Structure 1
Amino acid sequence: MRPKNGLEPAPPLRLVDVSKRYDSGGGGVVVALSHVDFAVARGEVVAVVGPSGSGKSTMLNVLGLLDEPTSGRVELDGKPTTGLTEAQRTDARRESLGFVFQEFHLLPTLTALENVRLPTAFLPGDATDRARDLLERMGLGDRLDHTPDELSGGQKQRVAIARALINEPSVLLADEPTGNLDRETGRNILEEFRRITDEDDVGVVAVTHDDLVTEYADRTVELVDGVIRRG
């Protein structure tokens, strides 16, 4: 439904004319991103593909406020993030973004429930009920007290997704989310992404080498030498 003022809401996450350059030493410069315009909408899955060294990881880091562009701007809900202090960037990530990694990055000594609650450790309130609900939605209601070494790869990735959703982000950023999974488990994880976009109205950006991810995406963006070729 179009808002009453007739204006479309700003996308939750957008890059506007973003370039990222690195000093390669000896006076050389590496251009990782070149004048990239990109946005993800709520409820949308976008796959970002391209060869190794094409700038996909740099783009994900810039989207995730883990790295600042050399030029251009990153916008969260229509507001530029330029000039934010490191503490403000951390707060913005916690409030608006969730991260899912190929290697899961679960703490081995914590249970599934404790891993999901971890991002809320220094926030007011008790997130136990929400963490439990998220794990139950992921089909892990009987694995709450299991540590990562007691879980399969697909179960670990579901725990990681639940952890990424604990603070109710508007966008989920996924780095090779099916990279360590077999084909069937990868499909199950991608179906979870589709369910998340449908039920929670979350946008998903998945950087990947896996063509399977593009089957579940609403849109595919190709990066070549730091330039968007399509999408």
Structure 2
Amino acid sequence: MTSEYPHPNAPAETPSTDVADSRALRPADDRKVPSDSQPLRLTGVTKQYATGIGTVTALSNVDFGVNAGEVVAIVGPSGSGKSTMLNVLGLLDEPTAGSVLLHGDPVAGLTERERTDTRRETIGFVFQDFHLIPSLTAVENVRLPTAFLPGDATPRAVDLLTRVGLGDRLDHTPNELSGGQKQRVAIARSLINQPAVLLADEPTGNLDTETGIEVLEEIRRIADTGVGVVAVTHDDLVTEFADRTVELVDGVLTDA
């Protein structure tokens, strides 16, 4: 299994399984994203919800950024605001106050369509429960985010599945795959649009330790191509693989 992934800022070309072409997909030295660049950042973000018993503050003045090529783990007790923070980072929810910056530009004021397009072009998602379509093959699940885009993403989907070790499972449906294989399909799907940031919600939550390590090794290799990775987790294994761990308690973020 190769550890090479297309660079997040590389043009979306039809990939090849040829060795020479595969090597060409590596980020060349002059194309590496600076380690101190932050493709995604929250500045002074507060998120509040109105409930029948008053206002609940899920996030309180959060400052956070992920560097290109960095893996950051977010830990904290249940109900601490981790899912809310991931939703804000993923442009699925808007903050009550503060700013969300993509490559330094604020996303406030975007229409829902613009937010959807920006999310699709910039952010990949990996979920604990995989969220694969049962009736679709591995290749079809991976190319699904490109369904309404021009061109055929099948060659890239095949290439990504091969890179995560599933080149012999291309036509298998989810019920023919193990938990670890399903998570690898989900990872490949998250990379189909060459995101700058990968957001993972409990990426090892449904996996045994050995399989979890294999999945985290894949995530590590993805980060090494310049993708910033943010993982919400309760698993100590994830924090061991992370470059940095932050803790969220009652909506307040601190270094762990």
Q: Would you call these one fold, judging by a TM-score over 0.5?
A: yes
- Look up the equivalent residue of 2:237 and give its one-letter code: L
Q: 1:8 to 1:209 in 2, by over 3 A?
A: closer
Identity %: 75
- Counterpart position of 2:16: none
The 1-side partners of 2:35 and 2:239 are apart by 26
1:51 aligns with 2:67: no
1:92 and 2:118 are equivalent in the alignment = yes
2:127 and 2:203 in contact (8 A); partners too: yes
Given residue 54 of structure 1, which amino acid in structure 2 is its aligned partner?
S
| Match in the other structure for 1:11 | 38
Specify the code of the residue in structure 1 equivalent to 2:105: K
Deviations 1:174-226 (A, max 9, x none): 0000000001101110000101111x211100000111100000000100100
Question: Quick one: distance in 1 between partners of 2:253 and 2:193?
Answer: 31
Q: State yes or no: 1:167 paired with 2:176.
A: no
> Take 2:124 and 2:200, find their aligned partners in 1: how far apart are those partners?
8
Determine the structure 2 residue equivalent to 1:21. Answer: 48
Of 234, 240, 250, the residue aligned with 1:209 is 234
Structure 2 counterpart of 1:218: 243
TM-score by length of 1: 0.94
Q: TM-score, normalised by structure 2?
A: 0.85
Q: Is the 8 A contact 1:10 1:78 kept in 2?
A: no
Between the aligned partners of 2:75 and 2:42, the Cα distance in structure 1 is 17
Q: Does residue 1:191 correspond to 2:217, yes or no?
A: yes
Which residue type is aligned with residue 216 of structure 1?
F
SS in structure 2 at match of 1:189: helix
1:79 to 2:110 alignment: no
Spell out, residue by residue over 1:60-89, the C-alpha distance to the aligned partner (whole angstroms, 9 max, x if none).
Answer: 000000000000010111110001100000
Matched residue of 2:116: which SS? helix
Query: Superposition RMSD on alpha carbons, in Å?
Result: 1.4
Question: Which residue matches 2:18?
Answer: none
Task: Give the Cα–Cα distance (whole angstroms) in 2 for the partners of residues 106 and 138 of structure 1.
Answer: 16
5+ long unaligned stretches in structure 1: none
Q: Is the 8 A contact 1:43 1:202 kept in 2?
A: yes
Aligned-partner Cα distance in 2 for 1:218–1:44: 6
Secondary structure of the residue that 1:220 maps to in structure 2? strand
